[in-house]
Chain A
Amino acid sequence: MTDKATDFAIEGHGDISVGVSGAGASGDGSASATRITPGNALRPEDIALEIRRGQVKPSDDVAEFALRIGDDALILAQRLGHWISRAPELEEDVALGNIALDQLGHARSFLTYAGAAWGKSEDDLAYFRSEPEFRSAHLVEQPNGDFAVTIARQFVVSYYQYELYRRLTESTDATLAAISAKAVKEVDYHRDHSAQWVLRLAGGTEESRARMIQGFQLIWPYVDELFEDDELTTRLAESGAAVEPSSLRGDFDRLTGEVLAEAGLDIPKVPQALGGGRRGKHSEFLGYVLAEMQVLAREHPGASW
């Protein structure tokens, strides 16, 4: 896959004395030190390499679409990353960290691929675009709130992403299909994680049930935006590169409905927010998310890290 063997994850411990020889290695960033990540999984670095070799290049439409789903994953990862060291239990520091890491990995792959259409890197896109240039949905921009709000957001996102990626594995765009094939397996765990917590919180104590209900109240207005079609998705659906978001809604409703029914929860009767993230119209929250994420990179334009 890569032209350079960079697997320095485990060659005995205590190799601090020889650390120098391996320490300059790169490109192994998202791999786990314990190699829990499957060794052959597609990494953003592999996509970047294929782009440099001229082996892949997305159409403008595919790039725009990859930007949307990459931005969703990026902003969500940024939100989830804040939980690490603040979770209700150490196991959840690990679990939410894992989910954030998966989302960040998907974001890096989708953004790397999207950037190929415009000669931009993942970091150009993440750090040097302003709010209106982002394409994230309002849902992922919503603040973490308490653990129940985070779980409600996670429940909606992961069921949506699962249906989307599952279909994208059959995309006529081979790179989109490959990234999605890796992502769908991971998002399947995210679904399980959030569904388990919905059941626990709804069926736990009076307080946890009230918080879970409130969490869904806060999050549900941003559901419809995920399933909105527009000219871009219509063109992509016709070409077979992607699907109309509205086509995911039936499975989403059915599967989330099963969990909510088991939890004894009703779908919140709340008005749907106007959305507009895909057109660069964002919530008030995104500006703060970007300000924090981008501050250091923008202090040193052109620097390498």
Chain B
Amino acid sequence: MASQNLQSVPAELSPEEQEREAAGQAYFDRIISEDSRIEPRDWMPEAYRKTLLRQISQHAHSEIIGMQPEANWITRAPSLKRKSILMAKVQDEAGHGLYLYSAAETLGQSRDKMMDDLIAGKARYSSIFNYPAISWADMGAIGWLVDGAAICNQVPLCRASYGPYGRAMVRVCKEESFHQRQGFEILLELSNGTPEQKQMAQEAVNRWYAPSLMMFGPPDDDSPNSKQSMAWNIKRFSNDELRHRFVGMMVEQVRVLGLTLPDKDIRFNEETKKWEHGPLDWNEFKEVLAGRGPCNSQRIERRREAHENGAWVREAAAAYARKQAQKESAA
């Protein structure tokens, strides 16, 4: 498999450089075949670097944009305990964004550049955050379904072949696990509450179910990059495999919640031993991805506004640091 990754060596390289490239590729291939780890200073194929940079920065952007739908309820959380948990959760997401931007920086791109790309609409983030969080129960559904799907996706990434990414994911996953539980707990409380609360919970599950299934990405036969990512030990399971696994978990947990999943076609296939779900609206997925979701413009605008409103603060901090450094070197 690894031989597919060989880059065509540009002709203008000197013989020594060609030799270095070949040795680098051989080292890379061996590391991948041993299922070991590539570190920032190691030689890596350009395509591997680009794929990782795209994936990690998208992941970081998702954390940052993903703060918004939940931050929307911090000031209105219905109990002080819930407010406290929600604040901690959204704050964790800023922290995840920070680790991930740092991991991406080891691949040679600055956080400033990544942030500029996000604001310019040139970078992607998880499409699910373009849906609005319109009720308190959405805090539960986002935690349970969206963070639940994220965990399914991310636990295998702890073993990603790129060291800084895998290590960042270990910490991210620990916190995501807590997030998922708090979401479940919100829904459980609502489901056992008043009829209005239970209805609120069911409606939120209805709204977030399909988008959360689509978080795993397009079906395997429509996911051109997956194969290469799996060959590079970045991705460990296919989109559909992860999606089926996730559905199986949700089927069990929704019973405990006393709610239902809005999918009458869910069934366990005895032959394949896999959970199956009903059809998903991939057209809507593509529409939202293309910028036509309910909140795409709002999310980017909010990020742009925060970033631009903060420009004078960042400039001040940089200017102050420069002055301090000058003072120290003069002393």
Q: Interface residues of B: mostly helix, strand, loop or mixed? A: helix
Chain B nearest CB from A274 CB (Å) reads 28
Query: Known: A23-B184, A292-B75. Is A108-B158 also a contact (CB below 8 A)?
Result: no
Interface centre among A8, A14, A101, A199 (most CB of B within 10 A): A14
Which A residue sits closest to B185, measured CB to CB? A23
Contact A147-B310, Cβ < 8 Å, known A16-B148, A101-B88: yes
B167 close to chain A: CB less than 8 A? no
Is B91 an interface residue, CB under 8 A from the partner? yes
Partner of B97, one of A8, A90, A297: A90
Q: CB of A5 within 8 A of chain B? A: no
Q: Are B158 and A300 closer than 8 Å at their CB atoms?
A: no
User: Are A32 and B88 in contact (CB-based, < 8 A)?
Assistant: yes
Residue of B nearest to A13 (CB): B173
Shortest beta-carbon distance, B152 to chain A, in Å?
7
| Interface check B71, CB cutoff 8 A | yes
CB distance from A236 to the nearest CB of B (A): 25
Q: How far is the CB of B328 from chain A (nearest CB, A)?
A: 14
A24 proximity list for chain B (CB < 8 A): 185, 188
Interface residues of B in 300-314 (CB under 8 A from A): 302, 305-306, 309-314
Interface size on A, residues (CB 8 A): 71
- Of A8, A33, A100, A300, which is within 8 A of B194 by CB? A300
A203 at the interface (CB under 8 A from B): yes
**A38 part of interface (Cβ distance < 8 Å):** no
Contact B151 A90 (CB under 8 A): no
Stretch at the interface among A163-171, A175-183, A205-213: A205-213
Q: B51 to chain A: closest CB distance in Å?
A: 23
The 0/1 profile, CB within 8 Å of A marked 1, for residues 207-247 of chain B is 00000000000000000000000000000000000000000
Q: How far is the CB of B203 from chain A (nearest CB, A)?
A: 15
**How many B residues, CB 8 Å from partner?**
73
Question: With A and B bound together, what is the CA distance between A303 and B314 in angstroms?
Answer: 44
Tell me if A82 is interfacial: C-beta within 8 Å of chain B: yes
Residues of chain B within 8 A of A296, CB atoms compared: 76-78, 136
- Contact (Cβ within 8 A) B306 A88: yes
Contact flags A193-219 to B (C-beta < 8 A → 1, else 0) = 000000111011101100100000000
Report if A2 contacts B (CB, 8 A).
no
Closest 10 pairs between A and B when the two form their complex, measured CB to CB: A88-B310, A204-B316, A208-B316, A13-B173, A97-B91, A14-B155, A88-B313, A33-B178, A85-B71, A23-B184
- List 17 A-B pairs, Cβ < 8 Å: A19-B180, A20-B184, A30-B81, A81-B87, A84-B91, A88-B306, A92-B313, A97-B94, A111-B80, A126-B80, A127-B79, A147-B310, A201-B313, A296-B77, A303-B197, A305-B186, A305-B189
